[in-house]
Amino acid sequence: MSAPAVLSVKDLSVSFGAGRSETRVVHDVSFTLRQGQTLALVGESGSGKTITGKALLGILPKGARVTMGMAHLVAENSVDVSGPNEPGPECDLLHMTRKELRDVRGRRVSMIFQEPMSSLSPLHTLGAQVMEAVRLHTTHRGAEAQARCLHMFEEVGFPDPRRAFNAYPFELSGGLRQRGMIAMAMVCRPQIMIADEPTTALDVTTQAMVLDLINRLQAETGMAVLMITHDLGVVANMASSVVVLRKGEVVESGPARAVIGEPRHGYTKALVAAAPIIPEMVPVKGLHDPEITPIMRARNLSKTYITRGSGLSQKTMEIQALSDVDVTIARGETVALVGESGSGKSTVANLLLRAERPDDGAEIEFCGRDGLKQDIARLEGNALKAFRRRVQVVFQDPFASLSPRMPVQDILTEPLRIHDVGNAAEQRDRAVELMRRVGLSPDHLRRYPHAFSGGQRQRICIARALALKPELILCDEPTSALDVSVQAQVLDLLREVKEDYGLSYLFISHDLAVVAELSDRVAVMRRGRIVEEGPVESLFSNPMHPYTKALIAASPEPDMDRPLDLNAVAQGAGEPHTWPEPFGYVSGQAPGMVEVDHRHFVRRAA
């Protein structure tokens, strides 16, 4: 802990507005950032953690201003040969002229953001954007500057630095884009890097590798990192000290081990308790009786998208989004589809809903309460409309999936109106009942969605899905846009209504912890195929497939003694042909599914 301080922030306060309409969003925040160490600024949305980070660089959004405090940055102890003549002096970041501040930004203190796609200009190549930082802050020009960029790209782990240099951000994957951002932030060897939720938008395996990269670069250069995050798992893996923020105030701070291991403040305790953990042993849940008639059974689901190339030749290309996926959901069961972006899990959902048609050869059998079996893949007209009543969806983003121009009552009664259920009075009664069921006050039926918080909106979405008394609900990442404390409540609600209404769930998620908590059976998907499938207790206690192992190893947990296992991640997170024997795909051919335990299947050579 005795590393020299690099940045001391004292009594930082930030307000929006002025005069009577002034609202303070950050109150008297103080912390010290030490050389070569990472300090985590933890809090949920609205805690003021991002504003604090932005205040240090003087890039507050319009209307916000620093009202008090100081941020003391120590002098640079050495100077880069290419840099300005003198090392940067000791200074107070909160009281500088614009010109002095510009000199600090990007050279002595740099920042990376959550969404690497929107944080990079889509009109400039990655190289051009990194070169700009070099040109602004060093004397390097032309070939020299380019060499410096390429060297940086190599350090942040681009497989082909030269290609990355000439690539536009939209040509790169999310992980590579964030590496590009890090290269841009690091290229001038800053004293401090502020990382604002740098991995929140990334897949878990990518997150693990990017976190590792930040750790490695920090060890090499000795820079201090201010890590702004909501994820205690990330904190446990990265930080040596923690500051917990709530509504702009510091509620607890100290060494990471102490704060996470033995939280003192009630809020921190709640945060730690709510943090999702992948249990090593999951209690046996359902009976998994194969005799129960499945409510939904899909076989040989494949989906090929055809993209038409432009140009005179009009060459077409086929993209296989899904290959031979079988899904069975027993009545009353919760089946989870787990996978990272591009794994095809949402495509499965779209096919089961008949939002899209599967390729020929697929069979989707739905067996409702009435015992009638229907082939969903071939339903048309009224039969299809009737089917839609029985299967509903809860989407990921409760902000985008509710019309901002409809009061809640209209949102809840719209499905009833579409399917002609009851008269106006009955529909209203149903809306009141639904609001009560999801734990909201029926008095708020006249309000519009913007008056509700994210968690409350997701409750409204669940109420809407329940309106038609469906038998099966597809939950597409229903909690990933929510704060952890709210996430737990929404999961509880989902569990309750399942009991009440005798529902079955297909639960789509990238978050293994959430899946472990809610589901009975899990299917892990990668590149359009299921690679491992089994009862939740068997899958988590005895994962067999390298990709499943990688997913579990990559999920950060709020436990200082369980660091990310990067070897496992590296082994399983690659493309299918890089998986070790007997799991790898040989010349593009996937091996079949083998039963390794009771109803636990793994894709591997027999």
Binding stretches for another protein (CB under 8 A): 54, 57, 59, 61-62, 102-107, 110-111, 113, 115, 118-125, 132-133, 136-137, 168, 170-171, 181, 184, 307-312, 315, 317
**Nearer to another protein among residue 309 and residue 580 (C-beta):** 309
Contacts of residues 427-434 at CB distance under 8 Å and 24 or more positions apart, as own/partner, are 430/467, 431/467, 434/463, 434/464, 434/466, 434/467
Q: How far is the CB of 106 from another protein (least distance, A)?
A: 4
Instruction: Identify the bridge partners of residue 526 per DSSP, sorted by sequence position.
Output: 529
**Nearer to another protein among residue 110 and residue 538 (C-beta):** 110
**Nearer to another protein among residue 112 and residue 353 (C-beta):** 112
Entry field: residues in the chain: 606
Q: How far is the CB of 132 from another protein (least distance, A)?
A: 7
What whole-number distance in Å separates Cα of residue 345 and Cα of residue 509?
Answer: 8
Helix (H) or strand (E) holding 462: helix 454-466
**Nearer to another protein among residue 116 and residue 161 (C-beta):** 116
**Nearer to another protein among residue 56 and residue 351 (C-beta):** 56
Q: How far is the CB of 295 from another protein (least distance, A)?
A: 39
**Nearer to another protein among residue 132 and residue 249 (C-beta):** 132
Q: How far is the CB of 309 from another protein (least distance, A)?
A: 4
Which amino acid type is present at position 554?
A
**Nearer to another protein among residue 125 and residue 215 (C-beta):** 125
SS3 content of the chain, % helix, strand, coil (to 5): 35, 25, 35
The angle formed by the CA atoms of residues 325, 330 and 333, to the nearest 5 degrees, is: 105
**Nearer to another protein among residue 311 and residue 580 (C-beta):** 311
Which amino acid type is present at position 388?
R
The angle formed by the CA atoms of residues 157, 158 and 161, to the nearest 5 degrees, is: 130
**Nearer to another protein among residue 58 and residue 546 (C-beta):** 58
**Nearer to another protein among residue 119 and residue 334 (C-beta):** 119
Q: How far is the CB of 168 from another protein (least distance, A)?
A: 5
Tokens of residue 345, six digits? 């899990």
Q: How far is the CB of 306 from another protein (least distance, A)?
A: 11
Phi, psi of 28 (to 5 degrees): 40, 55
Q: What is the 3-state secondary structure (H, E, C) of 412-447?
A: HHHHHHHCCCCCHHHHHHHHHHHHHHCCCCHHHHHC
Query: Among positive and negative, which fits the CA dihedral 356, 359, 360, 365?
Result: negative
Please state whether beta strands 109-112 and 192-196 pair in parallel, antiparallel, or not at all (unpaired): parallel
Between the CA of residue 329 and those of 58, 112, 323, 596, what are the distances in Å?
A: 53, 42, 19, 20
Core vs surface per residue 565-591: b (16+ CB within 10 A) or e: ebebbbbbbeebeebeeebbbeeeebb
Q: How far is the CB of 214 from another protein (least distance, A)?
A: 17
**Nearer to another protein among residue 142 and residue 309 (C-beta):** 309
Q: How far is the CB of 121 from another protein (least distance, A)?
A: 5
Q: How far is the CB of 536 from another protein (least distance, A)?
A: 38
Q: How far is the CB of 57 from another protein (least distance, A)?
A: 6
451: left (phi > 0), else alpha (psi -120 to 50), else beta? alpha
Rg of the chain taking only CA atoms, in angstroms: 26
Q: How far is the CB of 167 from another protein (least distance, A)?
A: 10
Strands (E), 17-167: 23-34, 38-42, 64-73, 91-92, 109-112
Instruction: Identify the bridge partners of residue 318 per DSSP, sorted by sequence position.
Output: 306
